[in-house]
Structure 1
Amino acid sequence: MPYDSPVLELTTQLIARRSLTPDDAGCCALIAQRLEALGFRSEWINAGGVTNLWASYGSGAPLSILAGHTDVVPTGPLEQWHSDPFAPEIRDGVLYGRGAADMKSGLAAMICAVERLLAAGPVRGTLAFLITSDEEGLAQYGTRHVVKVLAERGIKPDYAIVGEASSNQQLGDRIMIGRRGSLNGVLKVFGKQGHVAYPHKVENPIHRFAPALAELAATVWDQGNAHFPPTSFQVSNLNAGTGANNVVPGECVAVFNFRYCTESTEASLRERVHAILDKHGLRYELAWQLSGEPFLTEQGAAISAAQAAIAEVTGLTPELFTGGGTSDARFISPWGAQTLEIGPINDSIHKINEHVRVADLEPLSAIYEGTLKRLMR
């Protein structure tokens, strides 16, 4: 397909910028230039080395936000890519490059959708873009920071569309209407180091921790609900030992994560974990880190608009889905917006040879345009 597709052209321009998190590599400047030509007012709310663009058009309610990120994950082994990940290349109708699906095609499709929308006539209320370069990294100084700044000004959104890759097998077959919360823990269990030949003189932290770990793994934290599966506890790393086969270690470290639904809370999970550890008489330290709370957008104007737009463009009835990892939607939803994630097929995100179907780019842009029309006209 020739580069006569505006979405394809802009997607390739963004992919060509080596925006490894949190380096924006000029992506936001390019986006701001396109938006300012439409009459958007740009504001840079940068912090901690992260580039954050807030661009707004119009005034009053409703406030509809298009949100996304310019940063991408590392490429992985370059020799396994079939082409340079930052030199976008089309092969057999597929566009390859880091960020092609996650989420530079979504950003390009949003911008082109807004260009067509405004060219067709005025909109009701305020239309804004919230773009960050810190979604794939620590996510401390990106959308989280911008939301805090804007909320302190009294700004409150009505609707938000995040351009994450949400589709499963066909463009538009899923809308993300929520996400599970993510709660991390780093547990250090203390024992007493010594020689393996003198078990009466040591306290093995691995042995001490094993029954507690078995109970944690077997615990049913909740039953889930109509929108979410049950809360999941998973250990991602377990480490102990000095490297010698004749030494009982003095401590054992476990890293774990809860992906939790709205039937549990951060406080309830923490309390139950501590109760299990205490019951087993462990000496321990436990550091907690909350990546994001669960959220859910109920059926309303945003979902109805997106469903109608997707049906119009693709003929599909999208599944309303809450699975997968976390996204910046977890910061926007508590701000008060009906928040959805709509984007291309997510099969290749974060993988070697990340890609997006060229034939999906203009229809994705049409879905964004159709959703905004229904919310703002």
Structure 2
Amino acid sequence: MTRDDELADLAADLVAVPTENPPGDERPCAEFVVDWFESRGIEARLVEKPSAERAQAVAWVGDDPRDETGGGASDETAGESADAPTLVLNGHLDVVPAGDPDEWTHDPFAGVVEDGRLHGRGSADMKTNLAAAMLTVRDLAPEIESGDLDGTLVFHGAMGEETGHPGTRTLIEAGYGGDCAVVLEPTDFRVGTSGKGVVTYRVGVSGSASHASRPDQGTNAIDAARPVLDAVDEYDDRLRERTDPLVGRAYATVTEFEAGTDSNMAVLPGRAEFLLDRRILPDERFEAVEGEIETLLAEVEREADVETDLSLVKHYASAGIDPDHPLAERFRRLSAESADAPREPWGLEAATDAREFVAAGTPAIIWGPGNLAQAHAVDEYIDLADAATGLDILTDGVRGVLSDE
């Protein structure tokens, strides 16, 4: 069997283990990964934090990463020094829900290979890249163990990335970090050195319920929410003037609105709620963003005489490293040579687990084969020829870091 065939088969096997998040049943897939490594004589284990039911997988070749300091190399030298670097290949086990399987041409969890493509939920985002990382660890193990490559290679199969759970953060805190990291996502071979953050709030607007036959006796919470929504639109207009050269504009968007759904249809709702999605640029601080939202609501309360409340739903930090970091330069060069990928610095408009490495002081790039447009889509697929090219680039890139070539 060729290495390309191994990649297709392993990726299909991973797709065939459903790990939809929510609910996030990653443990069976983590067990599959650990068993795969152990059967090949590679150190691997389940990490049952932050959740035993949603266990994560780690593996490594070289020194036990928990015995290394890791995560403290400078942005200029990490991953490119002669001091036996520890490099992490990070990916996530979870996938977004597939939705109605009848809308799919193929069973989303069958791992069907057809016409040179692997079909199924997670094929692009990002189990094929998990498979590439697993094969890279396996194939470089003899060179690391013999001393031909100097350093340690760590694999992460993290939980909860799709919903902002601290899977990767937990692995880093448990000692499975490193001096630099490749966060595998379908970037079409472009090298991301920064990514937007996002904070989602639930905003409540109070009214006073009454029967719809006597609307003047109450205050319709939907009407009370109108000036709040208008204020959000005006805030979004101002935010769009803030831009980052790599990740684009900041945004504020209402993504969900709910009122009256838990009551009789003939009753004016006494409360309305909506989700506010705020995209955060790399140079914006979360505390400042939260202050802007609080100020916005305070002003609309005063001007429109409405009552609101605010609660945090989730927060993904923005993250960025020097676009000219040696790790980024290495993968840009290899991707340009092998996949004709652009060599210009680039950033993602979406948040990734790269933020967890950057927060820990570890430079990380975001990279991988696969088209980001396929992520979360019905009939998701990845071109297996691209995946095979990605495997070659990843192996060459890791070998270069660990040999300091």
TM bucket by the smaller chain?
0.7 to 0.9
2:250 equivalent to 1:231: yes
Distance 1:46 1:350, change over 3 A: same
Q: State the match for 2:330 in structure 1.
A: 305
Q: Is the 8 A contact 1:292 1:331 kept in 2?
A: no
Identify the match of residue 348 of structure 2 among 323, 327, 331: 323
2:381 equivalent to 1:355: yes
The gaps in structure 2 that reach 5 residues or longer are 69-83
Identify the match of residue 79 of structure 1 among 93, 96, 102: 102
Q: State the match for 2:291 in structure 1.
A: 271
Q: Is the 8 A contact 1:301 1:375 kept in 2?
A: no
Distance 1:252 1:26, change over 3 A: closer
- Partner secondary structure for residue 277 of structure 2: strand
2:58 equivalent to 1:54: yes
Distance in 1 separating the partners of 2:28 and 2:208 = 53
Return the TM-score normalized by structure 1: 0.87
Q: State the match for 1:15 in structure 2.
A: 15
Distance in 2 separating the partners of 1:296 and 1:3 = 34
2:160 equivalent to 1:144: no
Identify the match of residue 248 of structure 1 among 268, 273, 286: 268
2:157 equivalent to 1:131: yes
Identify the match of residue 358 of structure 2 among 322, 333, 336: 333
Q: CA deviation at 1:275?
A: 1.7
Give, as a single letter, the amino acid of the residue that structure 2 aligns with 1:50: R
Give, as a single letter, the amino acid of the residue that structure 2 aligns with 1:262: P
Q: Is the 8 A contact 2:250 2:279 kept in 1?
A: yes
Return the TM-score normalized by structure 2: 0.82
Q: State the match for 2:371 in structure 1.
A: 345
Distance in 2 separating the partners of 1:352 and 1:3 = 28
User: Is the deviation greater in 305-314 or in 196-205?
Assistant: 196-205
- What CA deviation, in whole Å up to 9, does each residue of 1:147-192 have, x standing for no partner? 2333xxxx6522111221111xxxx2x2222221111111111122
Give, as a single letter, the amino acid of the residue that structure 2 aligns with 1:270: E
Show the 5 A alignment for 1:30-69: 30-36=32-38, 40-47=42-49, 48=51, 49-59=53-63, 61-69=84-92
Distance 1:20 1:64, change over 3 A: same
Show the 5 A alignment for 1:82-101: 82-101=105-124
Distance in 2 separating the partners of 1:300 and 1:39 = 33
Distance 1:370 1:2, change over 3 A: closer
Q: State the match for 2:280 in structure 1.
A: 260
Q: Is the 8 A contact 1:45 1:53 kept in 2?
A: yes
The gaps in structure 1 that reach 5 residues or longer are none
- Partner secondary structure for residue 280 of structure 1: helix
Q: State the match for 2:74 in structure 1.
A: none
Q: Is the 8 A contact 2:87 2:178 kept in 1?
A: yes
User: Is the deviation greater in 340-349 or in 24-33?
Assistant: 24-33
Q: Is the 8 A contact 2:137 2:155 kept in 1?
A: no
Q: State the match for 2:185 in structure 1.
A: 164
2:130 equivalent to 1:107: yes
Q: Percent identity?
A: 24
Q: CA deviation at 1:36?
A: 3.9
